[in-house]
Amino acid sequence: MKSILSIFLLITFSFSVYAAGKTVTYQVDGKPYEGYYIGAAARSPLVLLIHDWDGLTDYEQKRANMLAKLGYAVFAADLFGAGVRPTAVKDKRQHTGELYKDRKKMRALLQAALDTAKRNGADINNAVAMGYCFGGAAVLELARSGADLKGFVTFHGGLSTPKGQSYTDTKGKLLILHGTADDAITMEDFAKLAKELETNGIKHEMITYSGAPHAFTVFGSNRYRKEADQQSWKRFTGFLAEVFNP
């Protein structure tokens, strides 16, 4: 009887976590955006998740659900706009390029995502930001902005620092998870960032995975590398436990 009750409670808990996932529509400068929020227990630490150049898709929702299962609240932000989920490479380049050229807008969108998470019950004073590819570059933009988060994490993200910017105001530790075989964001870019962070006295950890190309975490793609994905996810979840429970 006790065993049956335990199984019932486990199923009920799992359902309650996933049932909390919801689409959240919000406005930034009069334009609609559509994020995804999944909560855990009240006042759980928050993970702000930033999508790659495909926009916010099922991939980010799956990652958000994985994190919620571990007890975190997650807000997967939308940086492109409601319904904007580009599939052609030229369109992906257009939407990311517009934000790379307008860093002020990118920062405003990131702050709006945090504000929206807060309105949905998240504790933004106990938060980490993480992102994939383009989303990783956006997370580093948030780090340079001086956002008061406990950590910033990139998976195969853009690593270059725009002219005129620096990590002088960065708060929180950086975790960079990268593929050694990435031919889009090179190891030269990786080394340059390492030197920049060290020069600015920013706490950081940077790991590369052998044989892992760009986008090595994307399930089902020809770039997916299971070992690198699992190892990087394990380090990421370990990092969360460390920064949220110092």
**Domain segments of the chain as ranges:** 22-244
Residue 20, pLDDT > 90, answer no
Place of tokens 């990092």: 239
Output the CA torsion sign for 80, 115, 24, 16. positive
Asked whether the predicted pLDDT for residue 203 surpasses 50, the reply is yes
Burial class of residue 246, CB neighbours in 10 A (0-12, 13-18, 19+): exposed
Span 100-110, average pLDDT: 98
CA of 205: how far to CAs of 86, 139, 151, 197, 198, in Å? 32, 15, 11, 10, 11
pLDDT of residue 43: 81
Query: 45: helix, coil or strand?
Result: strand
**pLDDT at residue number 7:** 36
- Residues 161 and 144 sit within 8 Å (Cβ to Cβ): yes
* Phi, psi (rounded to 5 degrees) for 160: -75, 150
Question: Residue length, the chain?
Answer: 246
Judge whether 44 and 75 are in contact, CB under 8 Å. no
pLDDT at residue 11 above 50? Answer: no
Chain mean position to CA 178: 14
Q: Which CATH architecture is the domain 22-244 placed in? A: 3-Layer(aba) Sandwich (3.40)
pLDDT per residue over 190-201, tens digit each? 999 999 999 999
Query: In the prediction, which pLDDT does 246 show?
Result: 74
pTM reported for the whole predicted model: 0.91
- Secondary structure class of 91 (helix, strand, coil): helix
Which pLDDT belongs to residue 42? 67
User: What is the Cα–Cα distance from 197 to 174, expressed in whole angstroms?
Assistant: 9
